[in-house]
């Protein structure tokens, strides 16, 4: 379950998982974002098992919001600097397991299941061209007792983090973004390739994933645990209906208005987003204290960035840890 397992952020599903033998009931409303109730149950069952294998002690919270309940997994010292983690499209909190292990000794982490994604949050998908996601995040932060926080976002999660920093500049301490959407153009060649290869089943899906994420067959070599997580990713893509709308692009004025320090890391071989344009636009707009790193040989999947991101997040808190200042989470209803 490390960050170099193939993540769910690339390919449209090709139908429900075979068999449909999962038992139990899907959460209310969840089936609307899945191809079938059986697929919804299967994805949720595996996810709950992965949450039980979380590598550090944590708390599972359900935070009430105007879009419905939002699932949050909190870990790390309660008085350490707070950091909200926002995953990518077609993903959930399980993708942060390796980062939680690396960062939780120093930071109070809140891994949030984004609404409308294959996690345990409400299936709501408000319009991305509105203030809806900022209002939703307002509610999440209120439920966690956070006035201000740093945010780490990946892809779609990076877009939501940027949107929040633009609309709520006083509430964001620092931004660490991995291949964020909303700056460089979205690429559609991978989508066309996916349509062509979908008739080839599992092999076709894996080829599209590797093209989208910028990894080769040798790069995709994984441990048994990582391969198991990769199978979960494939289950998601067989069962989940991804968002189809094009995410709004932030203008230069909006980017210039971000006051929080930013670390942005992108891959030169990203098959989903134009990372070179992302770098050019950020350098031109020059938000205060922005640092952009382009990894020429990396794709949408970025490996081994935990040390640099941790250093960035702790830059203003070098001596803080379990005893340092920070926001303490307000209790929300425990997740089941």
Supply the pLDDT for residue 19: 32
Report the percent of the chain where pLDDT is more than 70: 73
The full DSSP string for 166-187 is: HH-GGGEEEEEEES-SSSSPBP
What pLDDT digit, counting tens, does each position of 24-52 carry?
A: 455 666 668 999 999 999 999 999 999 99
* 3 found inside a domain: no
Look-up of token digits 């990946």: 154
Max mean pLDDT range (24-28, 118-122, 202-206)? 118-122
Alpha carbon separation from 194 to 74, 273, 277 (Å, rounded): 36, 16, 24
Supply the pLDDT for residue 241: 93
Could you tell me the CATH number of the domain that includes residue 308?
Answer: 3.40.50.1820
* 332 found inside a domain: no
Alpha carbon separation from 319 to 42, 179, 248 (Å, rounded): 44, 29, 39
Q: Is the pLDDT of residue 171 over 80?
A: yes
Query: Chain-wide mean pLDDT for the chain?
Result: 81
Q: How many CB atoms lie within 10 A of CB 203?
A: 9
What pLDDT digit, counting tens, does each position of 72-97 carry?
A: 999 999 999 999 999 999 999 999 99
* 329 found inside a domain: no
Q: Is the pLDDT of residue 215 over 70?
A: no
Contact 259, 286 (CB under 8 A): no
Q: How many CB atoms lie within 10 A of CB 318?
A: 9
Supply the pLDDT for residue 201: 52
Supply the pLDDT for residue 204: 47
Range of the domain at 164: 30-315
Q: Each residue of 136-164: b (16+ CB within 10 Å) or e?
A: bbbebbebbebeebbbbbbbbbbbbbbbb
Which residue would you say has higher pLDDT here, 223 or 59?
59
Supply the pLDDT for residue 234: 85
Domain count, the chain: 1
3-state secondary structure of 180: coil
- Strand pairing partners for 60? 73
CA gap 220, 198 in Å, rounded: 20
Among the listed ranges 4-18, 167-181, 185-199, which one has the minimum average pLDDT value?
A: 4-18
Supply the pLDDT for residue 187: 78
* 8 found inside a domain: no
Q: At what angle do helices 224-239 and 201-213 cross, to 10 degrees?
A: 100
Supply the pLDDT for residue 285: 86
pTM (2 decimals)?
0.81
CA gap 118, 127 in Å, rounded: 18
Q: Is the pLDDT of residue 154 over 80?
A: yes
Look-up of token digits 């070599």: 221
* 62 found inside a domain: yes
Look-up of token digits 């209790």: 331
* 132 found inside a domain: yes
Which residue would you say has higher pLDDT here, 232 or 147?
147
CA gap 14, 236 in Å, rounded: 10
The two beta strands, 172-178 and 262-267, are parallel
Q: Is the pLDDT of residue 332 over 80?
A: no
* 247 found inside a domain: yes
Among the listed ranges 75-89, 145-159, 306-320, which one has the minimum average pLDDT value?
A: 306-320
Q: Is the pLDDT of residue 335 over 70?
A: no
CA gap 269, 246 in Å, rounded: 21
Look-up of token digits 């941790």: 310
Q: In which band, very low, low, confident or very high, does the pLDDT at 159 lie, cut at 50, 70 and 90?
A: very high
* 266 found inside a domain: yes
What pLDDT digit, counting tens, does each position of 241-294 carry?
A: 998 888 999 999 999 999 999 999 999 989 889 999 999 999 998 777 899 999
């Amino acid at each position: 379950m490390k960050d170099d397992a193939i993540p769910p952020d690339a390919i449209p599903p090709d139908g429900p998982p075979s068999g449909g033998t999962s038992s139990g009931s899907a959460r209310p409303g969840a089936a609307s974002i899945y191809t079938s109730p059986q697929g919804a149950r299967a994805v949720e069952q595996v996810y709950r098992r992965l949450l039980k294998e979380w590598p550090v002690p944590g708390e599972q919270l359900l935070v009430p919001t105007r879009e419905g309940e939002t699932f949050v997994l909190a870990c790390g010292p309660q008085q350490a600097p707070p950091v909200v983690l926002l995953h990518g499209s077609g993903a959930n909190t399980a993708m942060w397991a390796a980062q939680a292990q690396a960062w939780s000794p120093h930071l109070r982490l809140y891994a949030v299941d984004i609404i409308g994604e294959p996690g345990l949050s409400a299936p709501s998908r408000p319009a991305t061209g509105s203030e809806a996601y900022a209002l939703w995040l307002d509610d999440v932060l209120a439920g966690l007792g956070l006035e201000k926080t740093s945010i780490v976002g990946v892809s779609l999660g990076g877009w939501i983090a940027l949107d929040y920093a633009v609309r709520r500049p006083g509430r964001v301490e620092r931004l660490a973004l991995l291949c964020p959407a909303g700056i460089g153009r979205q690429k559609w060649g991978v989508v066309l390739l996916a349509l062509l290869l979908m008739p080839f089943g599992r092999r076709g899906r894996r080829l599209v994933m590797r093209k989208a994420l910028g990894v080769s067959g040798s790069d995709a070599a994984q441990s048994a645990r990582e391969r198991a997580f990769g199978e979960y990713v494939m289950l998601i893509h067989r069962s989940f209906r991804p968002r189809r709308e094009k995410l709004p692009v932030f203008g230069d004025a909006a980017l210039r208005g971000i006051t929080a320090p930013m670390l942005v890391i992108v891959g030169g071989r990203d098959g989903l987003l134009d990372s070179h344009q992302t770098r050019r636009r950020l350098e031109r707009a020059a938000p205060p204290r922005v640092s952009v790193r382009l990894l020429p040989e990396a794709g949408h999947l970025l490996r081994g960035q935990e040390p640099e991101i941790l250093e960035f997040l702790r830059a203003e808190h070098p001596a803080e840890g379990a005893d340092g200042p920070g926001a303490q989470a307000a209790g929300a209803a425990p997740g089941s």
